[in-house]
Amino acid sequence: MNRRIAVRAASRCWQYPSNMTFDAMDTAETGLPTSQDLFPPTRADAMARLRDFVARAGRAYAAERNADPGPGHKANVSMLSPYIRHRVVTEREVLGAVLQRFAPSTAEKFIQEVFWRSYWKGWLQMRPQVWHGFIAERDEQRRRYQDNAGRSKAWFDAEHGQTGIECFDDWVIELKTTGYLHNHVRMWFASIWIFTLKLPWTLGADFFLRHLLDADPASNTLGWRWVAGIQTPGKTYLARPSNIEKYTHGMYRPIGLATEAPAVRGLSNPECRPIGPADKLSDGARVLVLLHGDDLRGFEALPPGVELSGVVAARSGHPDRAWPFGDKARAFVTGATRDAARQAELELGVGAELIDALDAEKLLGRAQAAGARVIVTADAPVGPIDDGLRQLLDTLSGSGVELKRVRRAWDENAWPHATRGFFPFKKKIPALLDRLLT
Residue 395: in which H helix or E strand, if any? helix 384-396
Same domain, 327 and 362: yes
pLDDT of residue 25: 42
**Do β-strands 307-314 and 286-291 pair in parallel, antiparallel, or remain unpaired?**
parallel
pLDDT of residue 3: 43
Residues 6+ apart with CB under 8 A from 209: 215, 220, 325, 326
Percent over 90 (pLDDT), the chain: 87
Say if residue 10's pLDDT is above 50: no
Same domain, 401 and 319: yes
pLDDT bucket at 283, cuts 50 / 70 / 90: confident
Contact (CB, 8 A) for 225 and 194: no
pLDDT of residue 4: 46
With respect to residue 263, please indicate whether it lies within any of the assigned structural domains: no
The CATH number for 50's domain is 1.25.40
Same domain, 143 and 235: yes
The CATH number for 366's domain is 3.40.50.620
Say if residue 390's pLDDT is above 80: yes
Distance set, CA 314 to CA 288, 351, 366, 400 (Å): 13, 14, 13, 21
Residue 69: in which H helix or E strand, if any? none
With respect to residue 32, please indicate whether it lies within any of the assigned structural domains: no
Say if residue 23's pLDDT is above 70: no
Say if residue 410's pLDDT is above 50: yes
Say if residue 101's pLDDT is above 90: yes
Condensed to tens digits (0 to 9), the pLDDT of residues 70-84 reads 887 788 999 999 999
Same domain, 239 and 136: yes
Same domain, 136 and 242: yes
Residues 6+ apart with CB under 8 A from 438: none
The number of residues making up the chain comes to 438
The predicted model scores a pTM of 0.93
Same domain, 77 and 148: no
Same domain, 110 and 152: no
With respect to residue 4, please indicate whether it lies within any of the assigned structural domains: no
- 3-state class percentages of the chain: helix first, strand second, coil last, to nearest 5: 50, 5, 40
pLDDT of residue 282: 86
pLDDT of residue 284: 85
Distance CA 377, CA 47 (A): 23
With respect to residue 215, please indicate whether it lies within any of the assigned structural domains: yes
The domain tally of the chain equals 3
Beta bridge partners of 403: 375
DSSP secondary structure of 283-318:
TT-EEEEEEBTTBTTGGGGPPTTPEEEEEEEESSS-
Say if residue 322's pLDDT is above 90: no
Q: Which amino acid is residue 195, in one-letter code?
A: F
Same domain, 101 and 142: no
With respect to residue 273, please indicate whether it lies within any of the assigned structural domains: no
The CATH number for 135's domain is 1.10.579.10
Same domain, 103 and 120: yes
pLDDT of residue 184: 97
Residues 6+ apart with CB under 8 A from 184: 66, 67, 68, 247
Same domain, 43 and 142: no
pLDDT bucket at 69, cuts 50 / 70 / 90: confident
Same domain, 134 and 216: yes
CA torsion sign for 257, 258, 259, 264 is: negative
Distance CA 312, CA 366 (A): 8
Residue 193: in which H helix or E strand, if any? none
With respect to residue 65, please indicate whether it lies within any of the assigned structural domains: yes
**Structural domain boundaries, residue 425:** 39-126+416-436
Condensed to tens digits (0 to 9), the pLDDT of residues 48-60 reads 999 999 999 999 9
The DSSP secondary-structure symbol of 126 reads T
Helix, strand, or coil (residue 404): strand
Say if residue 384's pLDDT is above 80: yes
Distance CA 130, CA 137 (A): 10
Residues 6+ apart with CB under 8 A from 105: none
Say if residue 177's pLDDT is above 50: yes
Distance CA 344, CA 252 (A): 46
pLDDT of residue 29: 62
Same domain, 122 and 178: no
With respect to residue 334, please indicate whether it lies within any of the assigned structural domains: yes
CA torsion sign for 215, 433, 422, 247 is: negative
- Look at residues 247, 275, 304 and tell me which one is the last residue of a structural domain: 247
With respect to residue 178, please indicate whether it lies within any of the assigned structural domains: yes
pLDDT of residue 121: 98
Mean pLDDT, residues 398-412 taken together: 97
Mean pLDDT, residues 385-403 taken together: 96
- Would you put residue 383 in left (φ > 0), alpha (ψ -120 to 50) or beta? left
- Look at residues 191, 225, 247 and tell me which one is the last residue of a structural domain: 247
Helix, strand, or coil (residue 49): helix
Distance set, CA 297 to CA 277, 308, 437 (Å): 21, 15, 17
Distance CA 263, CA 129 (A): 21
pLDDT of residue 5: 38
Say if residue 122's pLDDT is above 80: yes
Question: In terms of DSSP H, where are the helices of 308-359?
Answer: 327-348
